[in-house]
């Protein structure tokens, strides 16, 4: 994972069991299709990715290997790196694409930002190309040319094993490729994608910039470990800053941290769970959940939103540089635990993998909620007077969501018609009622 492994980590493993140590099938469900339509429909979104262990083949460059807990990276659509700053600072920008990776290598930064989705995940590789040593070397050279680490100092211990004929600057790119950039060179991944409001997106950016600002000019030095401050603390708390869920404090007392530390693959399931934590038609539950009520009243947003997707991407094959049989585990009770079972269900629900199916499901869900609407007077016999503004905000949100879904279905229909040369048709309607919202 993305924190230094301390001896007391053994205690954490005593409280939790490792499950799923056999290599996963990262071909299922596969990459998300219709990316262009998705981005037109959802201009700001974040993607939390659990990436597998990394295992370098011997005899080529730095000897890099990681455990089956893997690593976590974060991707933001609608964000750019400030071009005036060599140090990573994020800013909002239409259609911008920036990957974020935290690394225990860093001394004066919590994370590094990588511009452009293709380079973040695939380096200089084109789709379906094998990873050769030549492309590996060219990608490192391109990363250095872009100055990814030009303002980031690395910990002194990272120079261990550096050949005498390799400069300190070159070594930064050698030990970080496959983790911070060109992630698919050495790692497979599962990613959960979440559309957010413009205001929430700004809050995510502000949080990330604030984390780096702690270390930019010192005197504080960035130190990380698996239990108390790992890569998923960063991604989790970035979403907490947007009101998506509650913050997970860093540097907790070690015994508490051993029981609560976030794990990459667990966090993917946690994100999907969080979007379905309430039945969207249950206004009583929505109102009395303080976090949900706050997100609706302040941001006009509820987590039961279309565009929540789960996709996967395997490591590049054939591969001359990295081993490709890779594990990515849950930390869970293998008999009674939630994560393996929930993940299998998410993998087997088409609405998490296909945009049209996703929109149709939400169309049915929202139609049901609208049809079951009860008048405000009915609710005020049960709820406090403060319920009225929430009620009005909820139905304004519901109408916007219905409009969004219809716009998306029309967009997909028009795109399909343009591709086939046919006239647009009415969007398909789901058969019967949608499945229960929590999907679990």
- Residue 375: helix, strand or coil by DSSP? coil
| 125: nearest Cα among 73, 164, 167, 177 | 177
- Residue 324: helix, strand or coil by DSSP? coil
Tens of pLDDT, residue by residue over 109-145, are 999 999 999 999 999 999 889 999 999 999 999 999 9
Return the structure tokens found at 84.
Answer: 């005036």
Instruction: Give Cα 214 distance to the centre of its chain.
Output: 23
Mean pLDDT of 353-359: 98
Tens of pLDDT, residue by residue over 323-337, are 999 999 998 877 778
Mean pLDDT of 214-243: 90
Query: Where does the pLDDT of residue 250 fall: very low under 50, low under 70, confident under 90, or very high at 90 and above?
Result: confident
Tens of pLDDT, residue by residue over 283-299, are 999 999 999 999 999 99
pLDDT of residue 403: 98
Long-range contacts of 429-434 (CB under 8 A, 24+ apart): 429/360, 429/363, 429/364, 430/360, 430/361, 430/363, 430/364, 433/364, 433/368, 434/361, 434/364, 434/365, 434/368
Res. 180: pLDDT tops 90: yes
pLDDT of residue 440: 33
Query: Where does the pLDDT of residue 76 fall: very low under 50, low under 70, confident under 90, or very high at 90 and above?
Result: very high
All residues at 6 or more sequence positions from 87 whose CB lies less than 8 Å from its CB, including other chains: 109, 151, 152, 212, 216
Tens of pLDDT, residue by residue over 384-420, are 989 999 999 999 999 999 999 999 999 999 887 777 6
Query: What is the C-alpha to C-alpha distance for residues 127 and 153, in angstroms, rounded to an integer?
Result: 33
Query: Where does the pLDDT of residue 422 fall: very low under 50, low under 70, confident under 90, or very high at 90 and above?
Result: low
Q: Where are the domains of the chain?
A: 9-280+305-358
pTM for the whole thing? 0.90
Res. 16: pLDDT tops 80: no
């Amino acid at each position: 994972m993305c924190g230094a492994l301390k001896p007391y980590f053994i205690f954490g493993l005593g409280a939790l069991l490792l499950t799923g140590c056999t290599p996963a099938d990262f071909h299922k469900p596969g990459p998300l299709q219709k990316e262009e339509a998705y981005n037109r429909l959802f201009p700001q979104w974040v993607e939390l990715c659990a990436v597998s262990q990394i295992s370098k083949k011997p005899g080529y460059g730095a000897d890099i290997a990681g455990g089956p807990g893997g690593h976590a990276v974060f991707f933001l659509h609608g964000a750019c790196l400030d071009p005036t700053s060599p140090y990573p600072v994020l800013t909002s920008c239409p259609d911008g694409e920036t990957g974020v990776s935290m690394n225990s290598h860093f001394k004066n930064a919590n994370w590094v930002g990588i511009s452009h989705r293709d380079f973040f995940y695939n380096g200089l590789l084109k789709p379906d190309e094998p990873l050769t040593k030549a492309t590996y070397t060219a990608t490192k050279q391109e990363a250095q040319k872009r100055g990814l680490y030009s303002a980031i100092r690395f910990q002194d211990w990272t120079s261990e094993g550096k050949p005498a004929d390799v400069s300190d600057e070159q070594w930064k790119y050698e030990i970080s490729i496959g983790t911070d950039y060109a992630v698919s060179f050495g790692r497979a991944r599962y990613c959960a994608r979440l559309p957010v409001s413009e205001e929430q997106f700004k809050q995510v950016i502000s949080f990330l910039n604030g984390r780096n600002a702690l270390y930019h000019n010192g005197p504080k030095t960035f130190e990380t470990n698996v239990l108390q401050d790992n890569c998923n603390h960063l991604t989790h708390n970035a979403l907490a800053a947007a009101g998506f869920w509650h913050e997970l404090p860093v540097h907790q007392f070690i015994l508490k941290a051993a029981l609560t530390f976030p794990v990459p693959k667990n966090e993917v399931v946690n994100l999907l769970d969080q979007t379905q934590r309430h039945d969207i038609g249950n206004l009583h539950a929505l109102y009395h959940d303080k976090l949900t009520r706050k997100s609706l009243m302040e941001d006009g947003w509820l987590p039961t939103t279309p565009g929540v997707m789960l996709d996967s991407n395997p490591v590049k094959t054939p591969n001359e540089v990295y081993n490709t049989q890779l594990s990515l585990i849950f930390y869970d009770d293998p008999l009674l635990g939630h994560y393996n079972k929930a993940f299998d269900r998410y993998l087997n629900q088409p609405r998490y993998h296909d945009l049209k199916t996703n929109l149709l499901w939400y169309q049915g869900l929202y139609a049901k909620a609208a049809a079951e609407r009860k008048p405000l007077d009915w609710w005020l016999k049960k709820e406090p007077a403060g319920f009225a503004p929430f009620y009005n905000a909820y139905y304004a949100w519901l109408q916007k969501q219905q409009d969004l879904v219809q716009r998306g279905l029309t967009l997909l229909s028009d795109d399909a018609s343009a591709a086939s040369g046919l006239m647009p048709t009415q969007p398909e309607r789901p058969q019967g009622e949608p499945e229960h919202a929590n999907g679990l």
